[in-house]
């Protein structure tokens, strides 16, 4: 069909059709969608019920349309302007990576600390073109440690240890999380940690790439786009625990940094005392967090196993 004929047909029906997929929420027959739980990098997350067995699930919905919305929110996409082509594949690849990593972790001892994934469904437009994906996974109710952090120190130590154990499990099968922050740590009804969001995972010694993540919790080498390794996750875990215990960034000069030279501010600084902000923190816990937040990777704990061993003495 020629372009002129196609235009004539749409005009004759009284309205133009968009080339974008119209569905802005999952359209999966057996799932009843209840509410939106949140938004991520080009995604929307919904709570739903599986009509087959009544199980509640979370569906992470990533399509061309949700990507448009995300880019418009940050000012990178303006309809009817001469925008650069959108790299949809990179967003889709993140969701497929999350599925792959979670499937791998489901075969390890830390499987109960990460969401179970049930299926990855392709979203089609025009019946055959890929317009996105739906990741169907375990629904985990409960606050994140960003939303609620007022827990007794013994619980914080437990959460710290559990997260270190999850990351140790990831490292043992060849993955780094690379996007650790309080928002991705959910406290379940049983007061256990569930680690979320595996779309930024990388292999150890992975080379430079476009910076993605939250600067306040990212290691200097990651911000600079250098190679990453286990110590990169050790830093992010320490920076997350620093915030959870103080409500402040471990590098105040980095707080709110987004682009350009701001990333270089604070590279040479070390985190300030935690106990000055929170006297209830025991000195060995403060020392572990500050060691983990050292700007140079060589000065941090040698492995996540060392982090676990030092925490084990505090439990």
Q: Report whether 96 contacts 133 (CB < 8 A).
A: yes
154 exposure class (CB count in 10 Å sphere: 0-12, 13-18, 19+):
exposed
pLDDT digits (tens, 9 = 90+) for 134-180: 999 999 999 999 999 999 999 999 999 999 999 999 999 999 999 99
Distance, in Å, from the CA atom of 216 to the CA atom of 236, rounded to the nearest integer, reads: 9
pLDDT of 263: 45
Q: How many CB atoms lie within 10 A of CB 59?
A: 24
φ/ψ of residue 2, rounded to 5: -75, 160
- Map residue 2 onto helix, strand or coil: coil
pLDDT of 164: 98
φ/ψ of residue 306, rounded to 5: -65, -40
Distance, in Å, from the CA atom of 29 to the CA atom of 212, rounded to the nearest integer, reads: 34
Distance, in Å, from the CA atom of 198 to the CA atom of 186, rounded to the nearest integer, reads: 14
φ/ψ of residue 143, rounded to 5: -80, 150
pLDDT of 180: 96
pLDDT of 80: 56
- Map residue 97 onto helix, strand or coil: helix
Among candidate residues 50, 5, 9, the one with its CA nearest the CA of residue 30: 50
Q: For the chain, which domains are there?
A: 21-138 (3.30.200.20), 153-312 (1.10.510.10)
Give the distance, in angstroms, between the CA of residue 211 and the centroid of all CA atoms in the same chain: 14
* β-bridge partners, 193: 187
- In this prediction, the residues of the chain whose per-residue pLDDT falls under 50 are 1-22, 253, 255-268
């Amino acid at each position: 069909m020629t372009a002129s004929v196609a235009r004539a047909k749409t005009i004759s029906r009284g309205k133009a059709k968009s080339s974008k997929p119209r569905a802005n929420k999952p359209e999966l027959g057996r799932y009843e969608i209840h509410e939106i739980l949140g938004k991520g990098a080009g995604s929307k997350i919904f709570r739903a019920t599986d009509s087959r067995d009544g199980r509640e699930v979370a569906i992470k919905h990533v399509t061309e349309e949700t990507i448009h919305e995300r880019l418009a929110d940050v000012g990178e996409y303006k309809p009817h302007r001469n925008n650069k082509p959108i790299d949809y594949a990179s967003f889709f690849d993140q969701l497929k990576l999350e599925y792959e990593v979670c499937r791998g972790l489901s075969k390890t001892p830390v499987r109960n600390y990460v969401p179970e994934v049930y299926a990855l469904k392709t979203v089609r437009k025009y019946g055959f073109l890929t317009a996105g994906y739906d990741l169907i996974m375990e629904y985990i109710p409960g606050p994140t440690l960003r939303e609620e952090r007022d827990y007794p120190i013994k619980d914080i130590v437990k959460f710290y240890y559990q997260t270190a154990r999850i990351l140790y499990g990831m490292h043992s099968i060849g993955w780094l999380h690379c996007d650790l922050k309080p928002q991705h740590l959910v406290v379940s009804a049983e007061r256990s940690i569930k680690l979320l969001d595996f779309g930024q995972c990388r292999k150890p010694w992975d080379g430079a790439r476009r910076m993605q993540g939250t600067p306040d919790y990212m290691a200097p080498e990651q911000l600079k786009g250098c190679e990453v390794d286990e110590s990169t996750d050790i830093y992010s875990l320490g920076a997350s625990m620093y915030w959870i215990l103080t409500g402040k960034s471990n590098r105040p000069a980095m707080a709110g940094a987004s682009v350009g030279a701001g990333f270089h501010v604070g590279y040479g600084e070390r985190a300030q005392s935690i106990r000055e902000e929170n006297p209830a923190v025991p000195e060995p816990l403060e020392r572990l967090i500050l060691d983990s937040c050292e700007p140079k990777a060589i000065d941090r704990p040698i492995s996540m196993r060392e982090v676990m061993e030092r925490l084990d003495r505090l439990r």
